[in-house]
Amino acid sequence: MSASRLATGGSDIDRGRPLSFTFDGRRVEGFAGDTIASALLASGQAVIGRSFKYHRPRGIWGSGVEEPNALVDVESAAGRVPNARATTVQAVDGIRVRSVNASPTAEIDRNAVLDRFARFLPAAFYYKTFMWPDWHLFEPRIRAMAGLGVVDPGWQPRQVSDQINHYCDVLVVGAGPAGLAAAAGAAAAGHSVVLVDDRTHPGGSLRHRTGEVDGVEGMAWVEATVARLKGAGQLVLSDTTAFGLYDHNLVALNQRHADGRPDTLWRVRPRRIVLATGAIERPVPFANNDLPGILSADGALSYLRRHGVLVGRDIVVATNNDSAYEPALALAAAGASVTMVDCRREGDAQAKSGIRVLAGRTIAAARGRNAVQGVLLDDGTTLAADCVPVSGGWTPTVHLFSQAKGKLAWSDKLAAFIPGEAIDGIGVAGAVAGTVSLSDALASGAPALGDFGSSSPAPRGTGAEATLGAVSMWPKPMAKGRVWIDYQSDVTAKDVELAARENFVSVEHLKRYTTLGMATDQGKTSNLNGLALLADITGRGIAEVGTTTYRPPFTPVPFASLAGSRRGSMHAPVRRLPLEANHRAAGGVFQEYGGWLRPAYYGGGDAGASIQEEARRARQSVALFDGSTLGKIEVIGPRAAEFVDFIYYNTMSTLKPGHCRYGFMLSENGVVFDDGVLVRLDEHRFIVSCSSSHVAAVHARLEEWRQDRFGRDAVYIHNAT
């Protein structure tokens, strides 16, 4: 792979601010605005990491969160960040970057010998091979070899991660053209807007693909739109990933900071959510399609136009759709020799534009060892190549929609799943909704806003419009060589075939048997190819096979961000009584009980004697007990009596209003969970009094069973403690 930095170009970099860092001990030069990945590509570094199981050499595939290969450990003055994506981490002067899963380096890995034994290490081999005589004899070494990044056990955060609770009218996830159009529409209607994007700069595809909006160049429109939003007081968050969409449309965001501060966790509760999360380019299936130098065509274009990096000089582009032609033409214009291998049988209309087009052809195999050196076509022709950008179609980024329990629908036109029936409070816009052209993407913002849109006309694409024209290009059963489906988990087409032969034909069983989609990239580039292959093997349609379950987080989130201030004394803050001053005035000696600071005895001196004296007085005269810490949880509703009978071991529905009864709850395995007094205030209202230290657990238990067996219209739980 002969990638290099061009003398000009690169909208994201500042050539006046050079920087350097080390990768596996070797010095790498770059510029402010580079990611670690773009700087490594510009330096000609082909091998960035090693695969999880076979330790095969792997290079950079994409340019964003979809990256399955380029995981690195990053050391700086702030500490070590393990398993960082080189494609999303900004290059900083002086940092030390090391490849993961490689010993001693990615270039020279002594464990690469495992690849020679690949035929003996198929999917689930460890469950079959190491059960005898005892799995535990092998487990420590296997787990040590299977590790990726290295955690620094002595690391301590210098600062506490901030956590912010925020409310707004409209939250827009994704600052591409569709997201910007939606945010501008909501702001024009007078609504408060939060616009978030996981990139450092807004614009999405307009940052590296040509486009014209309302008669102006795409990026000029982006900059003007963002300026208007900020000028109107709207919140625009870059380097911020919406990683989870939870009950009641709570959206969790993780914001990264370029100045070294710990990440910030945002909990946003909007009235309307617009998902403009885009789509992810798929790999093309052929033998040895994992070699360094084989990468996403859109990623190649992104590195060229955002970072001024030409990914190769002798390039073969493989595709099944129109979107790969812009990267091919741009690479040719930058000085590369480009051949397009298009599996579709249309003519060679692009041949006169500086590229050679081979229509109706496919790549059968890639040639090379530690980097791609050429390709073998299906007709036996061999082409020399130091870089192979590929585009096997686009998979809409439906993860957040699915987390909200949204159902997906199959689109034959796109050869992908797209969001199906609408969900209350959530709209989808842009590529995630299945749009292709810029005009359609911009127009999709208004319907995604629902009642939160404005009457102003949507921006329009006024330049050349993108088309797709994708055809199916899925992995085939019994293909020659090793066709890689999941780069990070080392899953091949043969592994999927093996799973089907052993009757693991449910997508969830396939995932667990082969580990397809279980790595840190969560199958962003691999899932659909694997599902399509399983469908072919089992004689089903892809829609019938379905998808695996998308769960949060969408990308990894640092533990420090999730923990926030909950460390040291803030991990379990001491809770204090309202009458603490009165107890102290009476000579109370305090100790902690279940997180509460409570008087253990009075009067000081000998604890045993004081406690005995207190007990004697309680028996012979009067005692006053401070029960303010005991739980006071209201159970209200027409089925409240039935509910408390279900929760308690003894019958509670026979209680008369104004009376109380002692009772206890059992766990599902019959062990006493908590005990206390239940008070009936009226026919449909009870108060559960539980142990001081169990209030949160009892409340959670009541709410869990309320959701599982009863509805909110039948029973309502209110923690009044």
Amino acid at 324: A
- Please spell the DSSP secondary structure of 452-516, one letter per residue: G--SSPPP-B-SPPP----------TT-SS-BEEETTTTEEHHHHHHHHHTT--SHHHHHHHH-T
Which is it for strands 596-602 and 240-246: parallel, antiparallel or unpaired? Answer: unpaired
What is d(CA 568, CA 574) in angstroms, rounded to the nearest whole number? Answer: 11
What is d(CA 343, CA 363) in angstroms, rounded to the nearest whole number? Answer: 9
Bond preceding residue 553 cis, omega within 30 of 0: yes
- What is residue 352's predicted lDDT score, i.e. its pLDDT? 55
Up-side HSE of residue 386: CA atoms within 13 Å toward CB?
A: 15
Residue from 579, 609, 575, 608 nearest 593 by CA: 575
The token duo for 7 is: 């003398």
- What is residue 1's predicted lDDT score, i.e. its pLDDT? 66
Burial call 86-107: b when 16+ CB within 10 Å, e when fewer? bbbbbbbeebebbbbbbeebbb
**385 Cβ contact list (under 8 Å, min separation 6):** 293, 312, 314, 315, 316, 339, 372, 373, 374, 375
**44 Cβ contact list (under 8 Å, min separation 6):** 1, 2, 3, 4
Backbone angles phi, psi at 432, to 5 degrees: -65, -25
What is d(CA 417, CA 629) in angstroms, rounded to the nearest whole number? Answer: 52
- State which residues of the chain have pLDDT below 50: 347-348
Backbone angles phi, psi at 572, to 5 degrees: -140, 80
Bond preceding residue 419 cis, omega within 30 of 0: no
Residue indicated by tokens 């129109």: 322
Contact 648, 663 (CB under 8 A): yes
Please state which architecture CATH assigns to domain 485-549: Orthogonal Bundle (1.10)
Amino acid at 199: R
Contact 51, 145 (CB under 8 A): no
Please state which architecture CATH assigns to domain 4-146: Roll (3.10)
Residue from 560, 562, 17 nearest 260 by CA: 560
CB atoms within 10 A of CB 538: 11
CB atoms within 10 A of CB 712: 10
Contact 23, 100 (CB under 8 A): no
**4 Cβ contact list (under 8 Å, min separation 6):** 42, 44, 309, 310
What is d(CA 441, CA 429) in angstroms, rounded to the nearest whole number? Answer: 7
- What is residue 132's predicted lDDT score, i.e. its pLDDT? 81
Q: Where is 328: in which H helix or E strand?
A: helix 325-333
**320 Cβ contact list (under 8 Å, min separation 6):** 284, 342, 343, 344, 391, 392, 393, 470, 471, 472, 473
What is d(CA 429, CA 173) in angstroms, rounded to the nearest whole number? Answer: 10
- What is residue 588's predicted lDDT score, i.e. its pLDDT? 94
Residue from 520, 452, 540 nearest 83 by CA: 520
- What is residue 293's predicted lDDT score, i.e. its pLDDT? 97
- What is residue 686's predicted lDDT score, i.e. its pLDDT? 98
**CATH superfamily name and code, 633-719:** Aminomethyltransferase beta-barrel domains (3.30.70.1400)
User: Could you tell me the residue ranges of all domains in the chain?
Assistant: 4-146, 163-280+395-452, 485-549, 575-620, 633-719
CB atoms within 10 A of CB 249: 18
3-class secondary-structure state, position 330 = helix
- What is residue 525's predicted lDDT score, i.e. its pLDDT? 94
Angle, helices 507-514 vs 527-538, to 10°: value is 120
Residue indicated by tokens 């919406």: 242
Residue from 213, 204, 214 nearest 276 by CA: 204
What is d(CA 553, CA 550) in angstroms, rounded to the nearest whole number? Answer: 9
What fold does the segment set 163-280+395-452 form as a domain?
FAD/NAD(P)-binding domain (3.50.50)
What is d(CA 55, CA 699) in angstroms, rounded to the nearest whole number? Answer: 49
- What is residue 709's predicted lDDT score, i.e. its pLDDT? 86
- What is residue 520's predicted lDDT score, i.e. its pLDDT? 86
Residue 177: alpha-carbon gap to chain centroid? 22
